[in-house]
Every structure is written in structure tokens, then in C-alpha cells.
Amino acid sequence: MNRVLKTLTSTVVLECYVNRFARRALREIEEAYRRMLEEMLEYALEHNVSQSTLHRVFYGKYRDTYPWLPTRVIKGAYRDAVRRARSFRRFRKIGKSYKDKPEIRKITLAYSDLQDWRLEGGVIKVKTHIGWVELHYRGYKQLYRYLYGGWKLGGELKLKINGRNILAYIAFKRDFEIEYKPRNVVAVDVNENNVTLALFKDGVLRDVYRVETGLGRIVIAYSERRKSIMEGKPPWDKLVKRKLGKLREKRRKLDILGKTAWFIERLALENKAVVVVGDIDAKAKERMERDKSDRLRHRIHQWSVSTLTRLLECKPVHVVRVSERGTSSRDPFTREKVKGYSPLVIRIAVRGARRVKVLKVTLRVARVNGRVLERDVVGSIGIGFNYLNSDGSPVALGSTGACEVWVKLVIPHQGPTPLTEIQVFTNTIKYR
């Protein structure tokens, strides 16, 4: 049994309301913050300096220019300047920035120390040049879950003025001691319309789960919807902007990915397993998008592998990244090359809240030495083998048989109970 200490950071967003005196004080701080940020950002880009250099050059100057300004606001300004400069240089290096310097559009005030703000009595108290002002917020379950669930305040408060309201970003931190067995693995293969999981116990394959997310179909549907809204009209048209703003693509995708990450977390904690994911970064996706059509490039760009990996890394589980190279192109047990996969559609009945629905599941199958292989199952098992075989240890199938694997189908919004099971690595496809 191995143990690792992991510190998780989570942010809660609160919508606050203040009186006119507090709003006026925050507006004045925002104007001074913008002027400081513009000057320090230009200096940071020109000289490529760090936070300590900006502190040495500008701190005394701004203390004389704005003696009424809290000192932590000045420190938050040069931290913000360094972050923006670093991000601009990175995007310019990869060819995604076409301007000489970054444009400052929105300002977020950063209070970097608990000495200048407090969370007490159901309000957020912030120190300003007119004294302490109170930001009243509505009750949120997520906030109370962190306040009374063993989490601690991270120390940094960010404020964004949004019209008459104020958005407050409060960071929480918590240390977790994660216990896991190195030979227990949950291998995750993220695909366009599903996430396939292979569970290994003591280096032996036990179960395979296929979580039907349908994210690829959502991406295509919203792409067609946006095309119909913008047909014959410029993108800056007010009616077009209003209709595009009502689309819920991002919220729906995050909801599905969040439920999928929760299912993986629950599976890993129950089995004290390591979560192994494919190492797919932005550069790998850019290589995939080369010489592709606009439609296919958009689908690859919307592939949610990085988002799901980020959600898993924010969970109290041990996450390891491995290479996905060749995981789907070879039989994981005989290492024979798979020439190609063919589509196969099956239909299963799903009982909903009011009626029974027919769910179509698209499989990609191939036949190797008389056995039927499914591409996504092969990919997840291959990822698990890449991790387990990295130290030269042998891997085997479970006691269910050397030539069969039962895949359990799961839908995130239907709960963790598998709907049906599909038998692969046999001479025919069966499901029950």
C-alpha cells in the first residue's frame, strides 16, 4: 500500500450585492488597479521580469502615488501583470497571438492576504480606503460544504465588478492522504461519445465499463445550431449575440464530464486504485487537426480529454499520465496488428422517468484470429497495460476466461448502475 499527500484547491464563486458607498470605493480601487496593471504589464513584457523585480521597481512608487490603497492590492496587481505577460509570451510563441501586447479588457481585484478581508457573520468584509465594507451574498450549498467539510480558506480573494453586483472568487484548500495499491488500476480511454474504463486488481483485468457521454453528438448539434442562427447575418448582430448567449453547450458538457469524473473517482476509491489516463495535450490535438476539414477539425478541437483529466486531477485520487501510442491498433493480449475497425450499431432499452427509450450504441469492431475486438475496449486495456508493464510485471485476464471480456454500459445521468453488458474478445458480439 502506497501513500501520497495531495493538496487540492477549489474556488467558490459568490454573487454579492453592496450599497452605493461600497460600490463607489471598489470602483475607485478598480481604476487605480487598471492604471498600475497597464504600466507593470508593459514593463514586464519589455524586460521579462519576475514578481520580485516588479515589487522592487514599483512598490515604493505606488505607495507614494496611492497612499490610500491597501498594500495587498498593489501586490495582487504585479502578480496579475506577471501572469498576463507569461501567458501572452506563451501564446505568441505558438502563434496564437497576433498583437504586439495584450489587451486589458476585464479587471479582477486580487486581495492576496487574509489581513485585508474576512469571511464572517454571513458577509465578506473587505478593507478599502474608506474603511471596511461588507459584501452580502446569498446562501450556497457549495460554500457551506467547504466551510464545514474540513476545507480551509486559501488566503486569496478576487473581486470582479459586474454591473450593480460583485462576483467574489474565494479559494479553499485541503490536504488529502491518498492510499492506493500500485497494481490496482483504473485505465481511462476518452473518446468522442464515450469514456471506457478498464479496472485491474493486482495486475489482473477484472471489469470494463463504458460510460456513454454523447459529447460528440452534442458538439455537432450545437455547431449546426450556431450555423443556422448566423446564416446571412454578421456575428456582431444584437439578435445573433442574444441567441448565441442562450446556448447551453458548455454547461451541458461540464455537467456530463463532472458526473463521469465522479463515477471514476468512486470506482478508484472503492478499489484503492491508480487512475491512469492518456497523455493528450494541446500540441497533440494540433497535430491531429492538420490537413483536416473544418468540420472534423472542430470535432477534434472540442474533444474533452483535457477537461476530464483536469477534473480528475482535482479529485482525491492519484492520477498518472501514460502514452496512448499504439493502444488501439494492436490486440492487447496477442500483440497482433489490427488492420481496421468497422462500425456496428446496437440498440438497448433504457427505462427513464416516464417512458422507456431506445438507446443506440455505436461500436467499432474488428476480427482478429476469429475473435471480435472493440476499439474503445482495446484502447482502455492498452493504456492499463502500458502503465502496468512499465516495470516489466506480467498482466493477465481475470478468472472469467482468457478470451472474453464483458463490458458494462453506464449512462452518467441514469446513475452508476450498469444498463447492460456486452461480450467482446469472443467469436461473436453478445449482450445481456
Question: Tens-of-pLDDT digits for all 432 residues of the chain?
Answer: 888 899 999 999 999 988 889 889 999 999 999 999 999 999 998 888 888 898 888 988 998 998 888 888 888 888 889 989 998 988 888 777 778 888 888 888 888 788 889 898 889 999 888 889 999 988 788 888 898 888 999 888 899 988 888 999 999 999 999 999 989 999 999 988 889 999 999 988 888 998 888 888 888 888 888 888 888 888 788 888 888 888 888 899 999 999 999 999 999 999 999 999 988 776 666 776 777 777 777 777 777 888 889 999 999 999 999 988 888 888 887 888 888 888 888 887 776 667 777 878 888 888 887 788 888 888 999 999 889 887 545 455 544 444 567 888 887 776 666 666 777 776 666 666
Residues 226 and 113 in one domain: no
Give every CB contact of residue 138 below 8 A, 6+ residues apart in sequence: 14, 15
Give every CB contact of residue 3 below 8 A, 6+ residues apart in sequence: 177, 178, 179
* Among 330, 332, 348, residue whose Cα is nearest residue 340: 330
User: Measured between alpha carbons, how far is 49 from 82 in angstroms, rounded to an integer?
Assistant: 8
Residues 78 and 19 in one domain: yes
Domain count for the chain, please give it. 2
Contact in structure between 215 and 304 (CB atoms under 8 Å): yes
Please tell me the predicted confidence (pLDDT) of residue 402. 45
Note the Cα 254 to chain centre separation in Å.
Answer: 8
Please tell me the predicted confidence (pLDDT) of residue 329. 86
Residues 163 and 300 in one domain: no
Q: For residue 144, what is the enclosing H or E element?
A: helix 141-147
Residues 167 and 222 in one domain: no
- Final residue belonging to a domain, choices 156, 176, 196: 176
Residues 113 and 195 in one domain: no
Residues 113 and 57 in one domain: yes
User: Measured between alpha carbons, how far is 186 from 34 in angstroms, rounded to an integer?
Assistant: 47
* Among 179, 209, 207, residue whose Cα is nearest residue 274: 179
- Final residue belonging to a domain, choices 148, 176, 204: 176
Give the domain range for residue 100: 2-176
Residues 163 and 270 in one domain: no
338: DSSP letter: P
Residues 422 and 347 in one domain: yes
Q: How far apart are the first and last CA of the chain?
A: 36
Residues 168 and 244 in one domain: no
- Final residue belonging to a domain, choices 121, 148, 176: 176
Residues 188 and 146 in one domain: no
Looking from the CA of 276 toward its CB, the CA atoms found within 13 Å total 29
Strand partners, 120: 123
User: Measured between alpha carbons, how far is 235 from 241 in angstroms, rounded to an integer?
Assistant: 7
Residues 394 and 294 in one domain: yes
> Cα separations (Å) of 97 from 23, 91, 94?
35, 6, 8
Residues 197 and 161 in one domain: no
